[in-house]
Structure 1
Amino acid sequence: MKKILLVTGILLFGLAGLMVAITDKQAPAPLRTSLEYPQARVLAPFRLTDQHGQVFDNARLMGKWSLFFLGYTSCPDLCPTTLGKLAAAYPELSALAPFQVVFISVDPQRDTQAKLLDYINFFNPEFIAATAGHEQLFPLSRSLGFVYALVGDGDDYQIDHSASMVLVSPAGERVAVIKPSASPGQALQIRNQDLIADLGQIIRRHRD
């Protein structure tokens, strides 16, 4: 009887350990710098022009992951810093799945096609830089969860804009927002290692 109880106890203990191992394996690691939306949402229809003079619209989101970032070429710090970091992370990001980085300029008055081409080529010619009139930019920004506002008068105006990024699925659906964070004594930033880890996890989850 004692032997039966002992064997039963060992089996139950082993089964419990196996269940814990399976649960731990299935439980995803917490996202480091991103927030996945409870429900994916299709972006509202939009039509922009990219740095090559080609139409950039919802159709060009199909079949690949898109990482959107809002800004303008005259931005003094945030935009060049972010695009530089994305250029460094791009080889690992593009290895995860078909992937594109999309820089949306909210300064159509100054950001001509030629200026966008020169600007984005400095960081990575494979990136997309696109803009349109504010009648297109405002609804697209809202659909992505971004905001922007022109500040100042004359030709030297600045533009306040969101510092986050948004991940859009190959179905053209907004699935996650990537937000900057700050350590004590440091400026807000999105760390590349956190970005790559989060997007890898999200892409794998949507692929399964």
Structure 2
Amino acid sequence: MQLSRKHVALGILWGMALLTLAWFGWARLIGPLFEQSVADTIGPGDYRLETTDGGTFTQASLKGGPTAVFFGFTHCPEVCPTTLGDIATWQEELGPDNPLKVYFVTVDPERDSIETLGDYTSWVPGVTGVSGSREEIDKALSAFRVYSRKVPLQDGDYTMDHSANVLLFDRKGRFFEPIGYQEDFTRVIDKLRRLEAS
């Protein structure tokens, strides 16, 4: 039995209606729940680390103001000094009343003492270095979903491979958005202004 054009058209219309309903369900119900669950899982944890200003870095450190967290190490040849330079430029653009707190967390606590980190980060306004035991650093890496791996060098030394994103958190300590390595300056400032207003 051949289907009439009317039946085919009705079938297509029903199919489009179901697709629209599925998209609406995702956009309004499932999608936000997924985003919420991911955002709520980045940052929380039981890590407790030392900071270069004499304090401690815990989950509570993410609250109370817009916050940026970057994982790196002082022997980093390119990504870390470049990112610190970018952060200094962002801070300058945002001005002296900018409330952004920035934490530079080492992925190499064996070489990066608090004193070493203090010297390394001191030239960038508003950046606090963070270090601690290998165990506590590993807890933080897991909490922030940051990749880090020791890479042996031919001379017997080693370097660290690691995630290069700067992670942004809102005043409630909830993950907001990442900033990619060397992301466009205008886009970054837009993100930071939206973060400050959130």
Q: TM-score, normalised by structure 1?
A: 0.69
Aligned residue number for residue 141 of structure 2: 141
Structure 1 counterpart of 2:50, which letter?
T
Aligned residue number for residue 8 of structure 1: none
1:201 to 2:198 alignment: no
Structure 1 residues 47, 77: CA separation in 2 closer, same or farther (over 3 Å shift)?
same
Q: Distance in 2 between matches of 1:128 and 1:57?
A: 13
Aligned residue number for residue 183 of structure 2: 190
Aligned residue number for residue 117 of structure 1: 118
Q: Pairwise mapping of residues 34-113 of structure 1 onto structure 2 (< 5 A)?
A: 38-39=35-36, 40-41=39-40, 43-93=44-94, 98-113=99-114
Consecutive unaligned residues of structure 1, counting only runs of 5 or more, are 1-36, 181-188
- State the shift of 1:179 in Å: 2.2
SS in structure 2 at match of 1:38: helix
1:116-166 CA deviation, whole Å, 9 max, x = no partner? Answer: 111111233x21110122212223222222110111168621000001111
Aligned residue number for residue 32 of structure 1: none
- Number of positions where the alignment pairs a residue of Structure 1 with one of Structure 2: 160
CA RMSD of aligned residues (A): 2.2
Q: Distance in 2 between matches of 1:98 and 1:115?
A: 25
SS in structure 1 at match of 2:123: helix
Consecutive unaligned residues of structure 2, counting only runs of 5 or more, are 1-33
Structure 1 counterpart of 2:78, which letter?
D
- State the shift of 1:38 in Å: 1.8
Structure 1 residues 88, 145: CA separation in 2 closer, same or farther (over 3 Å shift)?
same
Aligned residue number for residue 34 of structure 1: none
- State the shift of 1:91 in Å: 3.2
Aligned residue number for residue 168 of structure 1: 169
Q: Distance in 2 between matches of 1:109 and 1:139?
A: 15
Q: Distance in 1 between matches of 2:157 and 2:190?
A: 39
Aligned residue number for residue 132 of structure 1: 132
How many percent identity over aligned positions? Answer: 30
Q: Distance in 2 between matches of 1:132 and 1:119?
A: 16
